[in-house]
Structure 1
Amino acid sequence: MITIGALVGNAALELRILESGTSGALSESVTWVHNTELPDPSPYIREKELVLTNGLWIDQVTPAEFVANVRRAGAAGIVFGLRAERPRTPEGLVAACGEAGLPLLEISPAVPFTAVSHAFSAMYADERQRDLIGMVRRGDALATALSRGTGASGVLRVLTRDRDLPLAVVDRMGRLLAADGAELDAGQLRTVAEGLARRPPALELDLGDGRAALFLVGAVGDVDAALVCLRPLAELTATERDALEQAARFLSLEVARQQAVQAIEMRFAGELLEMVLSGGRRASEVAGRLQAFGVDPTGALAVCTVAFSGEAATVHGLAEMVGEFFADEGVPAVVAGGTNDVVAVLAWRDSEDELPALGERLVANVAERSPGRRPVAGLGGVVAHAGDLRQPLLQSREACRVLRRTPGGPAVRGFRELGTHRLLLGLVDPETLSAFSRDLLTPLREHDARRGGDLEPTLRAFLDHDGQWAATAAALHVHVNTLRNRLARVTELTGRDVGRTEDRVDLFLALAIDAMA
């Protein structure tokens, strides 16, 4: 970075400071030098340029007007060139610069402006050369770090070796991949993930205790993560930004490598599920495949299937979230992501009664990392060894499918807990079910809305009490005759007699379907 102070330090230029400007002005970056004698040079001066002038404009505008024009253009300062006709810098110019907080330098009559231009060019060339050499060396160090398998943490160490910057790498799911000098809480990680999900992605975010710059990390054309610097972009020098952008490109290589590894692992995990489902000769390969993933095939095994309620396809990143959860829990597991769900086959050392609690922790963890979505988990029970996995796998996926189509239902259930009617309903087209429920319940609801009646609540109470008249009447605090009259009206409106088993089943299913909607 070239500054006014650096130019003054060049004794050959014979520069003398008359006004230092605002605090720190002499240490700010100068982009170039601009020689002008125009009364208003503002249209031609770029921001942070140093203006060189002999004052030939002095008969056309006052020094205060000239300074105001230069200031408006955002110039770094003014260098006034002394000459035989004007051996001293005009006092009005000195006063105007002092008032405007603009640095003012005086240059000896013996030194031409071209000497300043040449000196600036030489300094600029040296600076660019240093930057390029630094970039090459940094690139070598980054490549070495990645080749040694140090990953994102190695990249950050290379950056912070030369620059005191608080850095972190966060992926688009809000996971902290690495950090050096930076601490991000769960809320800040979520903010970064939300920023990366925008289109276009955010390049700067407010993290609550200050603004942070984001340098995007991508593989195969998508944004997968961000190199986060806990400083605003405006406070970063051009050299620092170049270094961070270079590091982000190297991190993209690391992300691509990780994605390739994950894709291979996911393919092998998917093949494992196919082996389990196919049975027969391929079933003999299951034990070896489980062992390759670090899961003991001779011990007890359980199956858990996860998906998001109401979503037909698997959300990107769900398999990684599930895998990380089991890793944090210390449970060896094989996780396979499918089109509609994510299946985990896990080693289970506890009793089967403990499995629902693990499922509850799993969906809570996924829900926290997936705002706005509702995860569900179907459990397939525990088996003694790998040869018996087919049934719990089928049951786990079926339970998950039923839960996924029941937005208001439980988040975690085992196959046997759901009840036969729920499993059967899960096999029928949702629109068909909805039409069946609507045809039966709409007349009751319209009647209750018009008359302020209680037919639907009465029907629900009657079915909840297994068709027992006295128990239902007591629960509703009405006489049994009142209950009979209400249910007779239900029969008139729906065409279903609560006294007949098959009609009672229809009404029960209509209410169950309504609860699943």
Structure 2
Amino acid sequence: MLSLATLLRDPDLQLRLLVAGPPQTLNAPVTWVHGTELADPSGYIHRGELVMTNGLWMSEVTPTEFVGSVRRVGARGVVFGLRVAQPTTPAELVSACRNAELPLAEIPIDVPFTAVSRAAAAVYERERHDVLSSTIQRGDALTNALSRGAGISGIIDVLRREYERPLVVIDRLGRLLATTGPEPSESGRRKITEALGRRPPPIDVEVGPGLSAALFPVGGLGAPDAALLCLAPTTTLSEREREALEQAARYLGLDVARMQAVDAIEMRFATEVLDMILSGPQRAADVAGRLRAFGIEPAAPVAVCALAFAGTTRDRPDDAPTEPGMSEIVTDCLMREGLPALVAGGTQDVVVLVSWRRSDPDLHDLAGRLAAAVAAAFGDRPVVVGLDRIAPDATDLRSPLQRSREACRILRRRTSDDMRPVVADFESLGTFRMLVDSVDPELFQGFSQTVLGRVRDHDQQRDGELEATLRAFLQNDGHWAATAASLYIHVNTLRNRMARIAELTGRDVGRTTDRVELFLALQSVPG
């Protein structure tokens, strides 16, 4: 780096320091050297420049005025060139620089200002050479790290050998890919993923109380796939540190792209296994071989579950069943559990096949943890999980796969504002409930309104309770006395209401087919 201290150490210049200025001023970076004899050079000098002068301006202004104009624009100091007519540096100039806390050096008569300019250019040339050389050497090291399969950790190690800075790599789902310092908290990761979603991403992001990190996006033509973070504000990094981090981020993009390609291949591989299972027993041998590739023993018990986002909440009526990255969250969670599993993600659900030698309640607990991990990663969106019985081996997976996915489909179509994960197996959903949920909601609402429309109009116009009475009657299995007691009315009042319901609906609760229609029509509204 070019500084006044650098020039003072050059023996060819023979500079003599007269005023040092405040501490560290001599080591401050000098942007260039500027020769001038103007009485007020402030309009031509830029911040950080070193001023060289022979003092020809002294017939027009005082040294104090000249130094004031130089100091005002942020010059790094003054080099006074001695000449035959002025063999010593004026005491007034020395005093003015000392009062202004501006460094002052003198250069002998036989050393021209061009020597200072050549020395400054040589320093810049060496710096450019050093930067280029270090960039090439770092690039070779980063390339070697990738070629030998060291991946993200290898890239971070290259940076750590060069700069002692705490580094973190996190993908857009908040997963920690590598670190050389303290791990960000859960809230810190969420802030990082939010920052990656902005256009463009911010330069710095707060990852903890009072802790700001410089963010360098990794990969992605649109939204970045990950972020390299230096756990220090950008303003504290040197230019060479920033260049090194930006270079490393580009190499990280290559490895992240490789990982994404591998994940895509594995996902297609996993989806093919599901197709094989659904095709029937003729592909059983192929299924067994594919499952072994995922670490699943085909002769041992295998559990199946299907996950999706609840798709019909009042606040989010158009939520998609799955999102990109959902499969990765599930895979990471299973890896932390130490469970060999196959995870296949699609547009309607994410299916998990996992070796399972534990109990059914343990499977429900695992499903709940998977759902909670997905919900947390996507802003606490409600997640549902469908299950079925545990298959004794891989030859009996077709039915559990179909039933778990059907259970998931039914669960996600239920309207609820509850954000908690819902886990249910196929059999627990109930036969009539499955039939109701399998019908298009709009069609079912139309059926319900056809059967109960006149009853609802009656209640609205007369502030009546016919629909509530019908619901209570069916919930009490048609027992008159029990229903009247639950409604705190006389049994004759109940009979009158039921007669009015029969008149309005054309259906008699005494007939089985009519009672079934009334019961199903009530399922479209909260009970």
Structure 1 length normalisation: TM-score? 0.88
Q: Matched residues in 2 for 1:317 and 1:304: separation?
A: 18
Give deviations 1:395-453, integer Å, cap 9, x for gaps: 11111112222241761111111122332234333333345556777877777777766
Say if 2:5 is the partner of 1:5.
yes
Say if 2:400 is the partner of 1:392.
yes
Q: Matched residues in 1 for 2:357 and 2:326: separation?
A: 25
Q: Which amino acid in structure 2 is aligned with residue 394 of structure 1?
A: Q
Compare CA radii of gyration and give the structure with the larger one.
2
Q: Matched residues in 2 for 1:364 and 1:406: separation?
A: 19
RMSD over aligned CA atoms reads 3.3
Deviation at 1:36, TM superposition (A): 3.7
Report what 2:231 is aligned to: 230
Deviation at 1:299, TM superposition (A): 0.6
Report what 1:380 is aligned to: 388
Report what 1:260 is aligned to: 261
Of 112-121 and 240-249, more deviation after overlay is shown by 112-121
Report what 1:240 is aligned to: 241
Deviation at 1:153, TM superposition (A): 1.2
Q: Which amino acid in structure 2 is aligned with residue 115 of structure 1?
A: A
Report what 1:413 is aligned to: 424
Of 318-327 and 491-500, more deviation after overlay is shown by 491-500
Give deviations 1:257-298, integer Å, cap 9, x for gaps: 111211111111111011001115323311111111110000
User: Aligned with 2:385: secondary structure?
Assistant: strand
Give deviations 1:166-190, integer Å, cap 9, x for gaps: 1011100001100013332211111
Q: Matched residues in 2 for 1:104 and 1:453: separation?
A: 97
Report what 1:282 is aligned to: 283
Deviation at 1:495, TM superposition (A): 6.7
User: Aligned with 1:25: secondary structure?
Assistant: coil
Give deviations 1:139-167, integer Å, cap 9, x for gaps: 12112222222221111111111211110
- 1:198/1:110 CA distance change after superposition, 3 Å: same
Kindly report which structure 2 residues correspond to 1:86-485, keeping only aligned pairs within 5 A, or say none. 87-89=88-90, 91=92, 95=96, 98-99=99-100, 102-208=102-208, 209-219=210-220, 222-310=223-311, 311-312=319-320, 314-408=322-416, 411-436=422-447, 460-481=471-492
Of 414-423 and 102-111, more deviation after overlay is shown by 102-111
- 1:222/1:298 CA distance change after superposition, 3 Å: same
Give deviations 1:18-76, integer Å, cap 9, x for gaps: 55455533333333233344556555544433333445556666666655655564544
Aligned residues of 1:215 and 1:226 also touching (Cα < 8 A): yes
Deviation at 1:117, TM superposition (A): 1.6
Q: Matched residues in 1 for 2:501 and 2:60: separation?
A: 98
Report what 2:314 is aligned to: none
Q: Which amino acid in structure 2 is aligned with residue 213 of structure 1?
A: A
Q: Which amino acid in structure 2 is aligned with residue 190 of structure 1?
A: R
Deviation at 1:366, TM superposition (A): 1.5
- 1:476/1:387 CA distance change after superposition, 3 Å: same
User: Aligned with 1:383: secondary structure?
Assistant: coil
Q: Matched residues in 2 for 1:266 and 1:395: separation?
A: 22
Structure 2 length normalisation: TM-score? 0.86
Q: Matched residues in 1 for 2:90 and 2:495: separation?
A: 109
Q: Matched residues in 2 for 1:94 and 1:453: separation?
A: 100
Deviation at 1:468, TM superposition (A): 3.6
Deviation at 1:318, TM superposition (A): 0.6
Q: Which amino acid in structure 2 is aligned with residue 287 of structure 1?
A: A
Q: Which amino acid in structure 1 is aligned with residue 353 of structure 2?
A: V
Q: Which amino acid in structure 1 is aligned with residue 362 of structure 2?
A: E
Number of corresponding residues: 515
Of 407-416 and 229-238, more deviation after overlay is shown by 407-416
Gaps of 5+ in 2: 312-318
Q: Which amino acid in structure 2 is aligned with residue 379 of structure 1?
A: L
